[in-house]
Chains A and B, each alone.
Chain A
Amino acid sequence: MKIHLLNNFKLPLPMDDIYRRLGRNSHLAFDPRPEKVEEIISDSARFLCFHGAWTALEITGNNGETVIFQDGTSIKDPGTAARLEGCNIALFMAATAGQGIVDARDAAMRDGDGFRAVILDAVGGECADAAVDFTEKSARRELARRGLLVKNHRFSPGYGTLELKYQQIWFALLPLAEWGVKLDEKVFVMTPEKTVTALAGLMKRG
């Protein structure tokens, strides 16, 4: 199974999403110092380093409780089984916005600059989402011309009922370690935290 790598790609900063995450989503909002927020957001681009990767595994079994993949790994979660129902193939994706943005945020917090820290955190979070979005769409495009279509929106370990421990599967499949990503062997949390893993089901054009 081929691993598709998207290394060191560039993305425009998702400004609307960043402001929304910071809470500026009301028509009543005003900002006495908009330039201060904009300056930090613009400056944050130098801390970002995007990587993404994806691969597709055949689904060899799905009994509504457990999904089994071609390499023998499995996910025991009825929610995942329901989402992958009817799918022949599972798309495993991961992307990161890099360690730099997390380090910058933590440095700001240590310096007592909560203003800067909260903005950098928002940038990192939304950029990680944008990176996995980019990865998924790259995968969709490539797969569509091979007659494979993504069934529904991606979902991630740690949300819904899909336990974090299954991040081990992503860590084994995709070159996350090469990006400097680490997986905590006890709680299965990935660092840098602005790293996203996701799964989606693929079906053949009928």
Chain B
Amino acid sequence: MLFPSIKKICLLDGATGTELAAAGMPAGVPPELWCLDNPEKIVGLQKRYIAAGSRIIYTPTFGANRVKLAEAGREKEVFEINRELARLSGQAVKGSGALYFGDISSAGLFVEPFGELPFDDMVTIYREQIRGLLAGGVQGLVAETLLDIQEARAVLLAAKELCDLPVFISLTLENGDRTLTGTLALSALVTVQSMGAAAFGCNCSTGPEEMTGVIRELKKYASIPLLAKPNAGLPRLENGRTVFSMGAEEFAGYAIELAKAGANFIGGCCGTSPEFISCCREKLSGVKSAAPVKNVPLLLASASSVCEINPAQGIKVIGERINPTGKKVLQAEYREGKLELAKKFAAEQEKAGADILDVNCGVPGVDEKVLLRRLTGELCLRTKLPLCIDSSSPEAVEAALRLYPGRALLNSIPAETAKMKKLLPLAKRYGAAVIALPLDNRGIPETAEKRWHLTEKILRYGEKYGISRQNFVVDVLVMAAAADGRAPQVTLESAAVIQQHGLPGVCGLSNVSFGLPERSAVNGTMLSMLAMNKLSLVIANPSDETVMKNLYAANLLTGCDAGARRYTSRYGSGGGNSTDPGRNASDILSRIKYAVIDGDSAGMPDLIAEALKSYPAQEIIDLALIPGINTVGDYFEKRKYFLPQLILSADAMRRGFDELSLPLSVSRDETGNHPALSSHGSRIVLATVEGDVHDIGKNLVGLMLKNYGFEVIDLGKNVSAAEIIAAAMANKADIIGLSALMTTTMPRMKEVVDALRREQLPVPVMIGGAAVDGNYASSIGAYYSPDAVAAVKLAEKLIGRD
């Protein structure tokens, strides 16, 4: 079949739903069913798009999947409805040279691992629809307005099972470069282009201006053409009619920008019409279509992040710890079907700086296929890092790769014919990158040259299965130095050979130190040596700080860390106040003060114990704890510190007071206050007003007031004015503090103030909450505090302690 040339910009069609509504489709009716009843309308619209310049039109089958058709009770007619609607588009294009692609979209369901619908059920739903479209003679398929990478993968797998037609994948992006569910556009591109999509892009949600930036970024990594189908701006009401903010001429102007950014297929979504396409045709004539990138670097992807394997960027780390070899506890958990330890390892490795996570479930007695699939799914919810699927079982590999919502790395494929024949097709089908393992059933070759020979064998087989060499990483085969003193040298030679052939290398680093003491030192040194041969990936323990220091230093020293940014980011001094000249490590009072500022509760007992050897308790309070919390308050007011830090510091100060309670020979009173602080005896009644249940702000104010010596009577939330007044009278309150979050509950604050006036109680009222401000406070005769620190200052002022 003819596939449009990408030397010129190829025009797609424009909006269908909004145009059909303008043509009389009643609001709320499924467009697919209306088109079946009014075929002349859709054929007429599509002919107008073709006349305007569209070279590919989409069949009116956007919602013609089983799930959406069930809303109208027509789910059993998926095949027939798709076939007939496709035939209508076939009529529209007849004789024009234009093509018609079967349109597929989201079923609105949440697919595992991010939702409850089994992935294979999603594939089945799309397979049903595609069968009908194929019967209607479509010349390609387009899945548009997709929310999630799993929808895209399900469409591609379903299509591949049935035909060889080109498949376009288009996401709808809501938050910059991500879908609503968090799929990163670049992740989706990397994944679908490795799975054989014919084009990728985005449609709907945004106008052309916003979409241009996304296309421009995607183009750098796109080995397939890109498509863009933006909206005509945003809808608004004008003289009783709904219009979009952008007209055809303006839209077409942006189409040029989209083309320059790299879009090869351009159309329109909501708000566009044949006039828009016609204007685009005029503006885009003569504009060249930018070709896809020929040599895209090797990229791995999770649903929400991308990892580039590029020697120029230095060595990246594949975290090795989710591997039961030598780990009895992990083995035991796997046997019980538990994954908690594996998930913990994932979190720890990500935090320690891993770029990719290796996942291995190979334990005798365990159903590896089931467990590896489960663990792959669970890890997708826990980490944003791409995964390296580590198994020699083709069944387990397929189960994991089929589910995985991204582009994984397959660890690994040896140069054994039987294994290559089983594993390479899986890598091809699911778009995985591959670690080539240059050994065969004769064992591990002893020389670099022989290892390269086996590598070439794997690459040749890869080509046979449609996997080009750019999709391979080669294992340089690290062996135990203690077993063979020459082994590290052969590894280094292998790494050099692989580098000369322009392929990225990977190694299982820990093997080199097996059986030796001070393993970290040996591992770290081997890593540095391999860095000289531009190794790209290392399978290692990122929690081994010696290895990581070597890695970051090696990347810096081999010119892969411009400006030493990554090195200093990891190992440079942190915290804006670490160079504060007031910090004096030799002065215990200074150390206590900064323990408060840094929020270091854990260190406080030892510091207080040390200080008590030289200073009386009251001096420690006056010269260290109070100045510390005052500095924190200052930082908070200047927006250097934010709320959680304020609380950490308050906790540290309170811990200090707890440690001083015995030397002060007093204990906390029943309200939890420190008499040392509450010597002024002022009382404040706090409440969230009636009808409001938000209380976190009030609770924090209470916390801070206690730390400053106030006796706090907290009445809780949804408290009536009468209860507040009664509590204030019963407790002889000096201040009343009120909180309200909603504009509809704010008026309750006035009720309290008015009630106080009626009772002739001269108790000042301070108010806070998202809904209130100073003007409102003044209007009702109350005082306003915007936050917990200001509340303390206000309270102290109100009792005359400022």
Is A160 interfacial (CB-CB < 8 Å)? yes
In this complex, the interface size class of chain A, counting residues with CB under 8 Å from chain B, is 35 or more
CB within 8 Å for A158 and B745 given contacts A24-B642, A86-B240: yes
Residue-by-residue, is A111-124 near B (CB-CB < 8 Å gives 1, otherwise 0)? 00011011101000
Which of B235, B242, B641, B742 makes the CB contact (< 8 A) with A158?
Answer: B742
B641 to chain A, nearest CB (A): 7
Residues of A within 8 A of B345 (CB): none
Contact present for B28 and A37 (CB under 8 Å): no
Residues of B within 8 A of A198 (CB): none
Residue-by-residue, is A165-206 near B (CB-CB < 8 Å gives 1, otherwise 0)? 000000000000000000010011101010000000001111
Interface pick from A60-68, A92-100, A141-149: A141-149
Contact present for B645 and A159 (CB under 8 Å): no
B254 to chain A, nearest CB (A): 20
Is B502 interfacial (CB-CB < 8 Å)? no
The answer for the CA separation of A54 and B180 in the assembled complex, in Å, is: 17
Q: Interface majority SS on B: helix, strand, loop or mixed?
A: loop
Residues of B within 8 A of A88 (CB): 27
Q: Which of A144-164 contact B (CB under 8 A)?
A: 144-151, 157-164
Is B21 interfacial (CB-CB < 8 Å)? yes
Contact present for B651 and A187 (CB under 8 Å): no
Q: Which of A75-121 contact B (CB under 8 A)?
A: 86, 88-89, 105, 109, 114-115, 117-119, 121
Which of B108, B381, B640 makes the CB contact (< 8 A) with A10?
Answer: B381
The answer for the CA separation of A37 and B236 in the assembled complex, in Å, is: 41
Q: Which of B230-267 contact A (CB under 8 A)?
A: 235-237, 240-243
Contact present for A36 and B110 (CB under 8 Å): no
Contact present for B115 and A9 (CB under 8 Å): yes
CB within 8 Å for A164 and B691 given contacts A121-B696, A203-B242: yes
Residues of A within 8 A of B29 (CB): 146
Contact present for B115 and A26 (CB under 8 Å): no
- Which residue of A is nearest B382, CB measured? A45
CB within 8 Å for A22 and B644 given contacts A10-B110, A158-B745, A189-B692: yes
Residues of B within 8 A of A133 (CB): 180
Residues of A within 8 A of B745 (CB): 158, 164
Residues of A within 8 A of B21 (CB): 146-148, 204-205
Contact present for A141 and B640 (CB under 8 Å): no
Which of the listed residues B29, B237, B347 has the most CB atoms from chain A within 10 Å of its own CB?
B237
The answer for the CA separation of A162 and B642 in the assembled complex, in Å, is: 32
Residues of B within 8 A of A31 (CB): 575, 641-642, 645
Residues of B within 8 A of A149 (CB): 18, 235, 242, 270
Contact present for B691 and A117 (CB under 8 Å): no
CB within 8 Å for A160 and B647 given contacts A8-B115, A8-B116, A145-B62: no
Is A74 interfacial (CB-CB < 8 Å)? no
Residues of B within 8 A of A147 (CB): 17-18, 20-22, 25, 27
Chain B: residues with Cβ within 8 Å of the partner, total of 79
Residues of B within 8 A of A29 (CB): 639-642
Is A127 interfacial (CB-CB < 8 Å)? no
The answer for the CA separation of A28 and B634 in the assembled complex, in Å, is: 13
Contact present for B640 and A148 (CB under 8 Å): no
Is A72 interfacial (CB-CB < 8 Å)? no
Contact present for B242 and A205 (CB under 8 Å): yes
A169 to chain B, nearest CB (A): 15
CB within 8 Å for A10 and B145 given contacts A159-B744, A205-B22: no
Contact present for B115 and A33 (CB under 8 Å): no
CB within 8 Å for A33 and B599 given contacts A22-B644, A118-B700: yes
A180 to chain B, nearest CB (A): 16
Contact present for B648 and A145 (CB under 8 Å): no
Residues of A within 8 A of B463 (CB): none
The answer for the CA separation of A205 and B240 in the assembled complex, in Å, is: 10
Contact present for A189 and B693 (CB under 8 Å): yes
Contact present for A204 and B27 (CB under 8 Å): yes
Contact present for A187 and B237 (CB under 8 Å): no
Contact present for A144 and B696 (CB under 8 Å): no
- Which residue of A is nearest B17, CB measured? A145
The answer for the CA separation of A6 and B599 in the assembled complex, in Å, is: 41
CB within 8 Å for A12 and B116 given contacts A114-B651, A137-B174, A148-B27: no
Is B46 interfacial (CB-CB < 8 Å)? no
CB within 8 Å for A114 and B645 given contacts A88-B27, A138-B108, A145-B17: no
Which of A10, A42, A114 makes the CB contact (< 8 A) with B700?
Answer: A114
Q: Which of A23-43 contact B (CB under 8 A)?
A: 23-26, 28-37, 42
The answer for the CA separation of A32 and B575 in the assembled complex, in Å, is: 5
Residues of A within 8 A of B584 (CB): none
Is B97 interfacial (CB-CB < 8 Å)? no
Residues of A within 8 A of B196 (CB): none
B125 to chain A, nearest CB (A): 17
* Residues of A that sit less than 8 Å from B by CB: 2, 4, 6-12, 19, 22-26, 28-37, 42, 45, 56, 86, 88-89, 105, 109, 114-115, 117-119, 121, 133-134, 137-138, 141-142, 144-151, 157-164, 184, 187-189, 191, 193, 203-206
22 residue pairs of the A-B complex, CB under 8 angstroms, read A4-B108, A7-B116, A9-B181, A26-B639, A30-B576, A30-B641, A31-B575, A32-B597, A32-B645, A42-B347, A144-B204, A146-B28, A147-B21, A148-B21, A149-B270, A160-B743, A164-B745, A187-B690, A187-B691, A193-B694, A204-B242, A205-B22
Instruction: Supply 20 further A-B pairs (C-beta < 8 A) apart from A29-B642, A118-B643.
Output: A6-B110, A10-B110, A11-B181, A22-B642, A28-B638, A30-B640, A56-B28, A89-B27, A114-B699, A114-B703, A115-B651, A117-B699, A138-B180, A141-B106, A144-B270, A145-B16, A146-B17, A150-B235, A159-B742, A189-B693
The 5 A-B residue pairs with the shortest CB-CB distance in the complex, in nearest-first order = A147-B21, A206-B241, A30-B576, A12-B182, A23-B642
